[in-house]
């Protein structure tokens, strides 16, 4: 009798606990809904006043001064410039490091270098901003005297340095997942280590390697502090990496540093730009997940 | 080209040379990347170390570099971390427990899982905008510690959940089976057996996530953490500043002295992060040994 009552109590308590756990897990769904609906609602308010054609195809971004103009292309261009430069720098070097770690390095070297790379991936981005301003830019100035104090090149290089450890560690994981038997088969056929790596291991781990590139690129697009500090605040459609530019993220920071009144057009531009940023990074992340799940070679 | 011929021999030599060159290249790239970062960190230390003294730790920010310090920033960061831990740890670990132990393999669990993976890839500044619109404006929490802590908690929740799930998955199924066979309910099994067994792994994940929160700058700037604060916050509703914000503020000034102050701030920040990472690695290595 007594035990059955206690069992019923226990079951009741289980229900409460399960509900609590469920609510916690639901917070992540609520967060997503909040982000998406917030961005949509506020962007719609923005598009009441600015035509989508002007926003997506306009080539001047002057939101805070009269006469104002709301073409996002300069910001998009700025972000793209930094991302491409970062990727050009980090992808070959990151992949080479990953190949070294997974194919050549001894276990001892690997057990030292990998944690160091992971640690580096955790350095706050504001620190990279400091590197760009006090180290990379002065060095670039020695080589290219007429480079501006704030310039896209220095920001691109620093973003590259920032995403390099991420590419190296994630690609290393992907390459290590390729079974040893594949390598042994290739060596048995007389292939050199270069041929084994480039024709067997990297193609076999390609889905993971590509996913690491995409994740790094998406991180570079969303990167804020280093870019804000190093690249400046000048929306610019210029092709020269020596000039100051402004990225989408840097614009958001610029507006929020000033005291923006809620509800004005300047406040709403935040959400339109953030929407753009959110959609781009989300698309890249989804593509990277698709590559991982669709094209993953499954080995026993 | 015949087998064993002279051309074949030369060709083989060429291929081997190429392989050696490739190996050398990969090694050089790896080591120079590590070296580059070592140089950068060394340079920060050199620039900042002479500024670090008790005066630097115990002073409020100032217009005069030699009187400026990080007292407010350090205390603000500590407040922030404690609040973020209080909010995000229970929610994150509960979510992971739900997904691993209670949700089964149904559709809702799958949706939540995909959703968490995608949330992890959202740029931190977007969380900042969310915090600004929801916590600062809508709930009228103003530019306070609690707004910052709630925003940061949302930001690191995906990482905590993913890390906790990995730790929970690693708990052997036989442990659960043993508990069930003795008549334990699902929650008793989870609370008394699964959670303690996965605790070290969860702790490691939490520490690493919190160390990410310490370094994040953009979301705090978005919600408007003040950059000039000459008082210490007394409670969660007070306005505040934090270490990375103070560093940003100093880096963005043109004078050399402030850059050196920033370097000093960075050294302190990196020391805090290193300490937390070392703790995580220590916990991991200790438990690995125990499982062997």
The per-residue pLDDT for range A126-183, each reduced to its tens digit, is: 999 999 998 888 888 888 888 888 888 999 999 999 999 999 999 999 999 899 999 9
Residue A122 lies in a domain: yes
Is the model more confident about B37 or about B206?
Answer: B206
Of B122, B130, B277, the CB nearest to A38: B130
Note whether A95 and A171 are same-domain residues. Answer: yes
Residue A1 confidence (pLDDT): 46
Count structural domains, chain A. 2
Note whether A256 and A165 are same-domain residues. Answer: yes
Q: Sign of dihedral through CA atoms A87, A88, A91, A93?
A: negative
Residue B278 near chain A (CB below 8 Å): no
Of B95, B212, B259, the CB nearest to A25: B95
How confident is the model over B226-272, as pLDDT tens digits?
A: 666 777 888 887 888 889 998 998 888 888 888 888 999 999 999 99
Of A126, A195, A274, the CB nearest to B129: A274
Q: Looking at beta carbons, which residues of chain B come within 8 Å of A215?
A: 121
C-beta of residue B212 within 8 angstroms of C-beta of residue B162:
no
Residue A54 lies in a domain: no
Q: If we measure between CA atoms, which residue out of B220, B93, B214, B228 comes closest to residue B165?
A: B93
A to B CB pairs, distance under 8 Å: 234
Helix ranges (DSSP H) in chain A: 2-49, 52-57, 73-99, 107-121, 125-131, 137-143, 152-176, 180-188, 193-195, 202-204, 206-222, 225-231, 248-257, 265-294
Residue B162 confidence (pLDDT): 92
Residue B292 confidence (pLDDT): 41
Note whether A99 and A138 are same-domain residues. Answer: yes
Note whether A247 and A105 are same-domain residues. Answer: yes
Helix ranges (DSSP H) in chain B: 6-49, 54-58, 71-97, 107-119, 124-131, 145-169, 173-181, 186-189, 195-215, 218-222, 243-251, 256-291
The CA distance from B195 to B187, in Å, is 10
Residue A56 lies in a domain: no
Note whether A94 and A175 are same-domain residues. Answer: yes
Measure B58 CA to nearest chain A CA, in Å.
Answer: 22
User: Considering chain B, what percentage of its residues have pLDDT values greater than 70?
Assistant: 96
Note whether A249 and A103 are same-domain residues. Answer: yes
Measure B54 CA to nearest chain A CA, in Å.
Answer: 23
Given a cut of 80, is residue B5 above it in pLDDT? no
Note whether A30 and A154 are same-domain residues. Answer: no
Among A28, A32, A94, A278, the strongest candidate for a mutation testing the B interface, having the largest count of B CBs within 10 A, is A28
Q: In sequence order, which residues have a C-beta less than 8 Å from that of residue A26 and are 6 or more positions away?
A: B112
C-beta of residue A275 within 8 angstroms of C-beta of residue A40:
yes
Residue A299 lies in a domain: no
Domains belonging to chain B, first-starting first, are 56-291 (1.10.3720.10)
Q: Looking at beta carbons, which residues of chain A come within 8 Å of B29?
A: 93, 96-97, 100
How confident is the model over B137-166, as pLDDT tens digits?
A: 888 888 888 999 999 999 999 999 999 998
Residue A300 lies in a domain: no
Note whether A91 and A162 are same-domain residues. Answer: yes
ipTM > 0.85, yes or no:
yes
CATH number, position A85: 1.10.3720.10
Measure B258 CA to nearest chain A CA, in Å.
Answer: 11
Q: Looking at beta carbons, which residues of chain B come within 8 Å of A281?
A: 121-123
The CA distance from B206 to A90, in Å, is 29
When pLDDT is cut at 50, 70 and 90, the band that residue B284 belongs to is confident
| A10: containing domain | 2-49
Residue B265 near chain A (CB below 8 Å): no
Residue B110 near chain A (CB below 8 Å): no
How confident is the model over B87-126, as pLDDT tens digits?
A: 999 999 999 999 988 887 778 888 888 899 889 889 999 9
Q: Is A65 left (phi over 0), alpha (psi -120 to 50) or beta?
A: beta
Measure A148 CA to nearest chain B CA, in Å.
Answer: 14
Of B43, B123, B248, the CB nearest to A277: B123
Residue A57 lies in a domain: no
Residue A182 lies in a domain: yes
Residue A78 lies in a domain: yes
Note whether A88 and A185 are same-domain residues. Answer: yes
Question: By CA distance, what is A269's nearest residue in B?
Answer: B129
Segments of chain A scoring below 50 in pLDDT: 1
The answer to whether the Cβ–Cβ distance between B47 and A134 falls below 8 Å is yes
Residue B196 near chain A (CB below 8 Å): no
Note whether A34 and A73 are same-domain residues. Answer: no
Question: By CA distance, what is A223's nearest residue in B?
Answer: B123
Note whether A185 and A212 are same-domain residues. Answer: yes
Note whether A67 and A153 are same-domain residues. Answer: yes
């Amino acid at each position: 009798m007594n035990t059955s009552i206690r069992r019923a109590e226990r079951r009741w308590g289980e229900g409460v606990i399960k509900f609590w756990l469920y609510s916690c897990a639901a917070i992540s769904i609520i967060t997503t809904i909040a982000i998406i609906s917030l961005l949509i609602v506020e962007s719609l308010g923005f598009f009441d006043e600015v035509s989508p054609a002007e926003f997506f195809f306009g080539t001047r971004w002057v939101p805070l001064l009269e006469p104002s103009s709301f073409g996002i292309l300069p910001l998009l261009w700025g972000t793209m410039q930094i991302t491409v430069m970062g990727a050009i720098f980090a992808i070959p070097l990151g992949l080479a490091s990953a190949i070294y770690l997974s194919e050549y390095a001894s276990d001892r070297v690997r057990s030292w270098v990998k944690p160091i790379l992971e640690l580096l991936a955790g350095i706050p981005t504001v620190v990279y901003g400091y590197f760009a301003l006090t180290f990379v830019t002065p060095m670039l100035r020695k080589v290219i005297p007429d480079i501006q104090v704030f310039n896209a090149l220095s920001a691109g290089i620093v973003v590259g340095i920032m995403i390099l450890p991420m590419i190296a560690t994630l690609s290393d994981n992907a390459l290590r997942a390729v079974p040893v038997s594949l390598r042994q088969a290739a060596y048995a056929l007389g292939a050199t280590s270069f041929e084994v790596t480039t024709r067997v291991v990297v193609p076999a781990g390609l889905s993971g390697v590509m996913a690491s590139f995409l994740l790094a690129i998406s991180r570079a697009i969303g990167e804020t502090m280093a870019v804000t500090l190093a690249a400046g605040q000048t929306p610019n459609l210029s092709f020269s990496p020596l000039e100051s530019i402004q990225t989408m993220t840097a614009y958001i920071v610029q507006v929020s540093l000033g005291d923006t009144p809620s509800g004005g057009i300047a406040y709403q531009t935040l959400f339109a730009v953030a929407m753009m940023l959110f959609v781009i990074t989300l698309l890249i992340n989804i593509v990277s997940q698709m590559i991982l799940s669709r094209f993953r070679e499954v080995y026993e | 080209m015949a087998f064993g011929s002279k051309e074949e021999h030369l060709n083989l030599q060429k291929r081997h040379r190429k392989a050696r060159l490739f190996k050398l290249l990969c090694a050089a790239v790896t080591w120079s990347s590590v070296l580059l970062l070592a140089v950068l960190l060394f340079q920060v230390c050199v620039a900042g170390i002479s500024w670090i003294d008790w005066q630097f730790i115990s002073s409020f920010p100032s217009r005069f570099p030699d009187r400026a310090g990080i007292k407010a920033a350090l205390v603000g960061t500590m407040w922030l971390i404690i609040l973020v831990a209080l909010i995000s740890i229970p929610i994150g670990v509960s979510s992971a427990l739900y997904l691993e132990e209670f949700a089964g393999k149904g559709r809702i669990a799958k949706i939540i899982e995909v959703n968490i993976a995608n949330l992890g890839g959202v740029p931190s500044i977007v969380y900042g905008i969310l915090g600004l619109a929801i916590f600062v404006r809508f709930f009228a929490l103003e530019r306070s510690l609690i707004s910052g802590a709630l925003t940061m908690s949302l930001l690191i929740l995906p990482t905590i959940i993913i890390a906790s799930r990995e730790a929970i998955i690693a708990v052997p199924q036989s442990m659960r089976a043993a508990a069930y066979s003795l008549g334990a309910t699902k929650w008793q099994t989870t609370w008394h057996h699964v959670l303690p067994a996965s605790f070290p792994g969860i702790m490691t994940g939490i520490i690493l996530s919190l160390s990410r929160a310490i370094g994040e700058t953009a979301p705090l700037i978005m919600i408007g953490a003040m950059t000039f604060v000459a008082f210490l916050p007394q409670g969660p509703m007070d306005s505040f500043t934090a270490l990375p914000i103070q560093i940003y503020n100093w880096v963005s000034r043109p004078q050399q002295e402030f850059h050196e102050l920033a370097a000093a701030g960075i050294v302190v920040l990196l020391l805090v992060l290193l300490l937390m990472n070392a703790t995580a690695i220590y916990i991991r290595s200790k438990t690995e040994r125990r499982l062997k």
